[in-house]
Amino acid sequence: MHRLLRRILKKSGLAADTTPSIDEWHKFLEKLDDTFVNNDEDRYLLERSLDISSKEMEELLEASKESYQQRITALIKVIPDLIFYVDEDGRYLDILSQGRDELLYLPRDEVIGRKIDEIFPPEYAKMFFDATKEAIETNRLKIINYPMIVKHERLFFEARIMPTNMKESGKRTAITIIRDMTAEKKSIDYLNVIKKIFEDATEGILIASTDGNYFEVNDAFSRMLGVEDGELSDFSMENFSRFFDQETMNNIVRMIENKNFFHGEVTILRENHPNLLAWLTIDTVFNESGEATHRVAMLTDISELQKSREKLHFTATHDALTQLPNRMLLFERLQEALKRSKRSAYGGALFFIDLDNFKEINDTAGHSAGDKVLLECSQRIQNILRESDIFGRLGGDEFLLIVENVDHIDAPMYIAKKIIQEINRPFHVGNEVYELGASIGISLFPEDSNDKDELIQFADMAMYRAKEKGKNRFQYYSRSLDNNVKRHYMIERALKDALRHGNFYILYQPQLDLKTERVTGVEALLRVNETIIGLIPPAEFIPIAEESDLIIKIGKWVFEECCRQIVEWTEKGVKDILVAINLSRRQLMDENWSSFVEEMIGKYGIDHASIEFEITETTFMHSKKSGYRTIEKLQNMGFKFSIDDFGTGYSSLANLKQFTVDKLKIDRSFVMDIETNESDRAIVNASIALAHALGVTTIAEGVETAAQKKILSEMGCDEMQGFYFSKPRKAKDITPLLLR
């Protein structure tokens, strides 16, 4: 019997092994019918329920999928990294991240579907592919770091490659997460640099908490304190006081308490090493709440700087050649000596020493020989002085000596005689022997003055007086010094001031052809502003300028001014102008003079033939080799030369034969009495004949009368210059004459 029938019989109250009656069969069949009906209903309900549940489940599943996708998308959006889905062949299947496309090497649509080696340069492609392959094959995370240029900017990235358990088209896959590490890299690099600076800095650095419980120092700090590495580890902040004297320590503490910093020069006291001069800075570090948290101290070794300071001070206050005190220090020491003199019972003496004939050494043997003589000269004088005496070099061949505590009136005289005696001994430089003298001026303090500048001026004036008396001697200053010395001193100082303030000017005197009376040229005559120096003739101030180096500077000014004036006249229509410029012996002996002249000619763009140099007969005779070389250089450049004051010096026939000159200038002393003096006429006539025989033009200066002009013309003189035609005039006043 079927198990289902058994269940129905049992449910109907019938036994399976009995035979039912007719009524029982009817009841059984009815029961059986009800059972099938109920089962159909249950089946329908079950089918309906299953159908409804299936749809709900599908809806719930879809909703769950959508919610999951939204969560995944939201999460990916906020991840600040690039996420790639890539297979084992290196093909990019998808870019899962969003919003960071600016970090992509190429646009998104140019990446998806392409392989690594189709996108990146070979070196990057190999690195990415090898890392991806290793991650998939080992089933382990692979991390690589690399720099890359993205949109013209160098960035740093970290790539994390993780294998998945999924396959795409039969290919194993991996997820690659790319993170921009540029900021972190810069931060790490910056911290490394700071650490390196701290460790390797030549300055000592200490960082300490304000409570004193923590501090850190670099090696340089320990080294400057003179302690071994690690010795400071057991220190507290109070222990550092041993490195400073009490006054310095008190000052440091006071400054930090009042101002939260200390900056200053300190001496570090070191036990087993010499004390160290250092610059200490202590600054306070505050947190965001304005609370002091740390102090940073820095030590800089300035011992070498101190040596440099001392060396610089020595250089600034001492002469480079002789190592003696220079002008600045001498004047300072003199002022101190005058103050001491006021407090003591003894006075002192100031010696102004000028070497005689020293410039001859520079001019003939050169500055190198001159320097050696100056050096030996200074050593000789030092050897005869007391340790307390102050001896220095003013400049050139001038020296100053300050002697204090002079207890005898004749003491300065003995010192001066010793100095002259030392200077008179021959100087041997190489194979040459030079002999010098010394002119010394002496002023006494406080007798003559207690003013520094006045005392120097008096000694200077006394020195000039010694030179006027024949040189190589000494002279005391006295109020009775004659006016000539004072005037000489005054003129030299005035010339220096005039040069410094531009108070020179030039007058021009015309030179004429005696036959045609046409202006052939002009002579440039130097003058000084009368409001500065008074009415002093050139015959007086030119020799004074020649005694010093002033004539070189003045001569350069004159030459450049004449060049400028030639350009101005040319622009106004003056043609074929010739300007005669006087040259002194010092200018000819100056090795740089010809170079300066050529430089000015180029600067103003004028013709060499526009300038004629005048030198006196005496200068021509005694120019020596260096002077002759200068003349030769200038002549080779195309400049003309004339001999001024011809007939007043020694015979120069040999020089006239050796050097070709363009013109002989007959001195005014022979012209002024030419009408009445037979000797003058004979000299002038002979000079003209000699010049013509040599093919040289003659010009007579100082022509003031028609009779003088007539006689000179009859003698065959070529040109004339003098008041008869025109006095020296300013350039603007003589321009009409040149144009006419």
Phi, psi (deg, nearest 5) at residue 392: -150, 175
Give the pLDDT mean for 186-203. 74
Give the pLDDT mean for 343-351. 88
Top pLDDT among 270 and 71 is at 270
For residue 438 the two structure tokens come to 């010394």
The CA-based dihedral angle spanning residues 570, 608, 558, 718, taken in that order and rounded to the nearest 10 degrees: -80
Q: Superfamily for 201-306?
A: PAS domain (3.30.450.20)
pLDDT for the residue 547: 76
Fold of 318-481: Alpha-Beta Plaits (3.30.70)
**pLDDT tens string 218-252:** 888 888 888 876 666 666 666 778 888 888 888 98
Q: Can you tell me the distance from the alpha carbon of 378 to that of 385, in angstroms, rounded to the nearest whole number?
A: 11
pLDDT for the residue 648: 66
Whether omega for the bond prior to residue 543 falls within 30 degrees of 0, making it cis, is no
Q: Are 373 and 436 in contact (CB under 8 A)?
A: yes
Q: Tell me whether residue 499 is exposed, middle or buried, using C-beta atoms within 10 angstroms of its C-beta: 0 to 12, 13 to 18, 19 or more.
A: middle
Give the pLDDT mean for 317-340. 93
CA distances from 298 to 166, 201, 281, 530 (A): 61, 10, 5, 64
For the ranges 115-124, 137-146, 712-721, the maximum mean pLDDT occurs at: 712-721
- CATH class, range 79-185: alpha beta
Top pLDDT among 198 and 245 is at 245
Q: Can you tell me the distance from the alpha carbon of 340 to that of 137, in angstroms, rounded to the nearest whole number?
A: 98
**Over pLDDT 90: what percentage of the chain?**
36
Give the pLDDT mean for 707-711. 94
- Chain-centre distance of CA 713, in angstroms? 65
pLDDT at 179 over 60: yes
Question: What ranges do the domains of the chain cover?
Answer: 1-76, 79-185, 201-306, 318-481, 497-739
Q: Tell me whether residue 287 is exposed, middle or buried, using C-beta atoms within 10 angstroms of its C-beta: 0 to 12, 13 to 18, 19 or more.
A: exposed
Give the pLDDT mean for 345-362. 88
pLDDT at 697 over 70: yes
Fold of 497-739: TIM Barrel (3.20.20)
Q: Do domains 318-481 and 497-739 have the same CATH topology?
A: no
pLDDT for the residue 721: 95
Top pLDDT among 62 and 244 is at 244
Q: Which residue from 435, 417, 314 is spatially nearest to 377, judged by alpha carbons?
A: 435
pLDDT at 496 over 70: yes
Give the pLDDT mean for 675-683. 91
pLDDT for the residue 583: 92
What is the enclosing helix (H) or strand (E) of 12? helix 3-12
Average pLDDT, the chain: 84
Q: Can you tell me the distance from the alpha carbon of 280 to that of 240, in angstroms, rounded to the nearest whole number?
A: 13
**139-148, 403-412, 529-538, 608-617: least confident range:** 529-538
How would residue 720 be classed by pLDDT, with cut points 50, 70 and 90? very high
pLDDT for the residue 348: 94
DSSP 217-260: E-HHHHHHHT--TTGGGG--GGGGGGGS-HHHHHHHHHHHHHHS
Q: Which residue from 622, 603, 628, 579 is spatially nearest to 734, judged by alpha carbons?
A: 579
pTM for the whole structure: 0.47
Q: Is the dihedral of CA 455, 460, 464, 469 positive or negative?
A: positive
pLDDT at 183 over 50: yes
For residue 594 the two structure tokens come to 């010809």
pLDDT at 730 over 50: yes
Q: Which residue from 526, 540, 442 is spatially nearest to 492, judged by alpha carbons?
A: 540
How would residue 651 be classed by pLDDT, with cut points 50, 70 and 90? very low
pLDDT at 45 over 70: no
Q: Which residue from 95, 168, 91 is spatially nearest to 133, judged by alpha carbons?
A: 91
How would residue 78 be classed by pLDDT, with cut points 50, 70 and 90? low
pLDDT for the residue 437: 93
**pLDDT tens string 564-614:** 999 999 999 998 889 999 998 888 888 889 999 999 999 999 999 999 999
